[in-house]
């Protein structure tokens, strides 16, 4: 791989290593003394697999599909879906297009108006305060409503528009089904997200020589209702369940769905937004792309059942609080900031 395409992750890593060691004992710690930060993980797990084709069959098949989905959302917060309505050629086409975008020189990718979209390209973690807060990855992150502004790339825009449209419909459909299991009306999510802040992200994880000391993507939860992810065949995604990290076994025919923070609030903790991460790899390059199903800034987020574990807040307030915490500490705090003090939530994530 040509070095001119790579973001300067090495430079950032060494600068943070130097800062950290100097702040501790006034001397540079050599590589042989570096500690491992990536905790051990359990065996690879096959997440629950839901066949969405059953939704179009008879009542008993449809009910079976819905109950499996609800159970997966309650027990795992993550599940895979088959027969999801996104043709394989569309997914492979998007993977091909994103590789072309990432294979551009770093100097071009990092221009402020790359792809005719402001602030789209990201790499590493600009607010990292230690090596363990670096994300050894690069991404193009854009608002779904801006995808039509893409230019330069003749085939990128129609490919991405097709994926975004299908992922958006899928997210809406799954959110509606899960919501109705909680007694939420069918149009609840559509009304809040139709002109909302849903976004689309292309991810690349370059090979990393310090794979035991940094993450591909630092542990986090998603700040949306639902995320739809396509990750092809290269493993690396891990999620935390019952205090342990589990590696997610890739299924190239499936899309991965996970519950976000906002849905955890709406469900009053019936569904859980699990912490997840991507581990870095010394030898293998990894790609994925994700759709984040999110509301408008002024939408109020509140639990659908009482007594509520969380106080009511707007999506704008939630995002602003996350930004403050990340700037101050390098880490997201998220939902614990919004607990009602008179409730004792179970924090077993």
Alpha-carbon Rg for the chain, nearest whole angstrom, is: 20
To the query of whether residue 169 is one of the catalytic residues in this protein, the response is: no
Is residue 7 within 8 A of residue 124, CB to CB? The reply is: yes
| Rounded Cα–Cα distance for residues 55 and 41 (Å) | 35
Nearest CA to 318 out of 274, 268, 261 is that of: 261
| Rounded Cα–Cα distance for residues 17 and 182 (Å) | 48
* Given 12, 272, 277, 286, the catalytic residue: 286
CA distances from 256 to 82, 110, 152, 161, 227 (A): 9, 29, 30, 19, 8
Is residue 248 within 8 A of residue 239, CB to CB? The reply is: yes
Packed helices 59-75 and 156-180: angle between N→C axes, nearest 10 degrees: 90
| Rounded Cα–Cα distance for residues 53 and 138 (Å) | 35
228: part of which helix (H) or strand (E)? strand 226-230
| Rounded Cα–Cα distance for residues 146 and 200 (Å) | 10
CA distances from 190 to 193, 229, 302 (A): 5, 20, 16
Residue carrying the six token digits 């569309």: 90
183: exposed, middle or buried (Cβ count in 10 Å: 0-12, 13-18, 19+): exposed
Give catalytic residue positions: 286
């Amino acid at each position: 791989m040509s070095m001119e395409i790579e973001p300067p992750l090495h430079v950032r890593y060494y600068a943070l290593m130097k800062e950290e060691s100097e702040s501790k004992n006034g001397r540079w710690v050599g590589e042989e003394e570096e500690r491992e930060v990536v905790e051990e993980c359990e065996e690879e797990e096959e997440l629950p697999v839901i066949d969405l084709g059953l939704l179009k069959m008879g009542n008993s098949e449809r009910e079976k599909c819905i109950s499996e989905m609800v159970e997966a959302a309650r027990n795992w917060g993550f599940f895979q879906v088959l027969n999801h309505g996104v043709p394989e050629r569309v997914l492979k086409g998007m993977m091909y297009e994103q590789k072309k975008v990432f294979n551009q020189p770093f100097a071009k990718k990092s221009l402020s108006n790359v792809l005719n979209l402001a602030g789209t390209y990201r790499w590493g973690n600009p607010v990292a305060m230690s090596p363990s807060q670096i994300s050894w990855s690069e991404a193009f992150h854009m608002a779904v409503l801006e995808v039509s502004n893409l230019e330069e790339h003749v085939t990128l825009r129609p490919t991405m528009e097709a994926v975004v449209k299908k992922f958006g419909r899928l997210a809406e459909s799954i959110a509606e089904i899960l919501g109705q299991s909680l007694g939420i009306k069918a149009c609840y999510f559509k009304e809040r997200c139709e002109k909302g802040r849903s976004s689309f992200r292309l991810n690349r994880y370059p090979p990393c020589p310090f794979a035991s000391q940094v993450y591909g993507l630092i542990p986090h939860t998603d700040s949306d209702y639902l995320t739809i992810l396509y990750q092809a065949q290269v493993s690396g995604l891990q999620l935390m369940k019952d205090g342990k990290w589990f590696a997610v076994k890739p299924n190239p025919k499936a899309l991965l769905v996970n519950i976000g923070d906002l849905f955890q609030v709406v469900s009053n903790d019936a569904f859980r937004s699990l912490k997840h991460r991507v581990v870095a790899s010394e030898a293998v390059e990894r790609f994925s792309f994700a759709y984040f199903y999110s509301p408008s800034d002024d939408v109020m987020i509140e639990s659908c059942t009482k007594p509520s574990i969380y106080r009511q807040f707007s999506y704008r307030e939630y995002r602003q609080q996350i930004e403050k915490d990340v700037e101050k500490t390098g880490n997201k705090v998220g939902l614990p900031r919004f607990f009602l003090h008179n409730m004792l939530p179970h924090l077993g994530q």
